[in-house]
Amino acid sequence: MARLFGTDGVRGLANAELTPELAMSVAASAAQVLAAHDRSHRPVAVVGRDPRASGEMLEAAVAAGLASAGADVRLLGVLPTPAVAHLVGALEADLGVMISASHNPMPDNGIKLFGSGGHKLPDGIEDEIEAALGETGTRPTGAEIGRVADAPEALNHYLDHLRTASPQPLDGLRVVVDCANGAAATAAPEVYRRAGAEVIAVHAEPDGVNINDRCGSTHPEALCEAVLEHGADMGIAHDGDADRCLAVDGDGSLVDGDQIMAVLAIAMSESGELAGDTLVTTVMSNLGLHLAMREHGVNLRTTAVGDRYVLADLRSGGYSLGGEQSGHVVLPAHATTGDGLLTALRLMGRMAATGKPLAELAGVMRRLPQVLVNVRVADKAAVAASQSVRDAVDAVTSELGEEGRVLLRPSGTEQLVRVMVEAPAEQIAQAAADRLAGVVSAAS
């Protein structure tokens, strides 16, 4: 039987795969498991959501499940995922629940769980929750049933936290923010204005069905055009739950997560904030980031693909900056998960502090052309480990030298082998990727 929890909680088509019954059961089970780990007090849970229509239904189910297990519930309303993670600690809750499918299309939804302090639950706790699904046991009655109440102070609490974490004034900066018609629609324009920026908000009118619809970080083309149209200094593109951001410079060019991390790493290294002068990212980050960090004396650690692996390395090593090419950036001193609003504030703060345009700051890193080819195979592990494939990878790696890179890895979910090649020119990368894909296919 497949594991219920994926790499980022429980996710599926709302009201089909992710039903209210399942949401209620997961919430009740989570409350029971956490209460069993700490019986010293009545558990408290905070619940937030993005604005997709199914969130209203699932919020009601989650709240009912939590209360049925004896947990008091604080409803945060529509807030970014990182706000929910922060408020678990700020409101001294035992559990945080975010109802969102992030950058997925509107019909999907998901449930993300955060434990004490706002950290994602360990796999072991998720396994306990899954094992306890459907076990009603002795339910509380009378005054022991949990109570449900709104938390109207939640948004301001989170915005105040962001300003403390990034106090640099942004006066004189004109920014276009694409809120993806999602959870950032209120919070992002408000906090950027509080910091002093002139803000032009686009796709900031969520109606429950337009989240991520040809907008936000998955479709930054509209933001590129808006930055030029409004003569803005830069643009910020959030995803549906605002745990990530991409940027656009004043020339309308996209600035991806690797470039954002390069800018922040250099700034933090100069200020002494970059623990161990080390940046943590995944194996998918562009070789250009490796070269830029080497040039500026910053060590770069790589993990497997997935923010949970970046988070684990940040925590185990005590590092202060990490993230992914997608714009999911983590600053552990101020957040327990990726926070797109905090990332944007820090990026704009660097512009304001240096007086330099984003294009110049991001220019410390040159993105090398990157080609990815997916090859369907019968046995991904066997093919990836075959001698012919390893020899071909070694040969291409030797040919590219320090000016290129090869990454070959089995897919985590499908019978695919992913071949990624970076090189100084796209035609070189494409030719090498096609050549390796042919060897992989032949080995299947």
DSSP-assigned letters across all residues of 15-58:
TTTB-HHHHHHHHHHHHHHHHHH--SS--EEEEEE-S-THHHHH
Q: What does the block give as tokens for 55? A: 């969130």
Binding site annotation covers 72?
no
Strand order in the sheet with 72-78: 10-13, 108-114, 95-99, 44-49, 72-78, 148-150
Helix (H) or strand (E) holding 303: strand 299-303
Question: What amino acid occupies position 216?
Answer: G
Binding site annotation covers 102?
yes
DSSP state of 426: H
DSSP-assigned letters across all residues of 334-403:
T-SS--HHHHHHHHHHHHHHHT--HHHHHTTS-PPPEEEEEEE-S-HHHHHH-HHHHHHHHHHHHHHGGG
Q: Rounded distance, CA 114 to CA 84, Å?
A: 8
Dihedral of CA atoms 15, 18, 19, 25 in degrees, nearest 10, equals -170
Exactly one of 102, 269, 285, 320 is catalytic; which is it?
A: 102
Say whether 74 sits in a helix, a strand or coil: strand
In sequence order, what are the residues at sequence separation of 6 or more whose Cβ sits closer than 8 angstroms to the Cβ of residue 433?
371, 372, 373, 419, 420, 421
Question: What amino acid occupies position 7?
Answer: T
β-bridge pairing 254-255 and 245-249: antiparallel
Question: What amino acid occupies position 78?
Answer: V
- Do the Cβ atoms of 408 and 389 come closer than 8 Å? yes
- Do the Cβ atoms of 46 and 91 come closer than 8 Å? yes
Residue 271 appears among annotated catalytic residues: no
In sequence order, what are the residues at sequence separation of 6 or more whose Cβ sits closer than 8 angstroms to the Cβ of residue 182?
50, 51, 206, 211, 212, 216, 238, 239, 240, 241, 242
Binding site annotation covers 241?
yes
β-bridge pairing 72-78 and 44-49: parallel
Say whether 71 sits in a helix, a strand or coil: coil
DSSP state of 120: B
Binding site annotation covers 249?
no
Binding residues for Mg(2+): 102, 239, 241, 243
Question: Which residues carry out catalysis?
Answer: 102
Binding residues: 102, 239, 241, 243
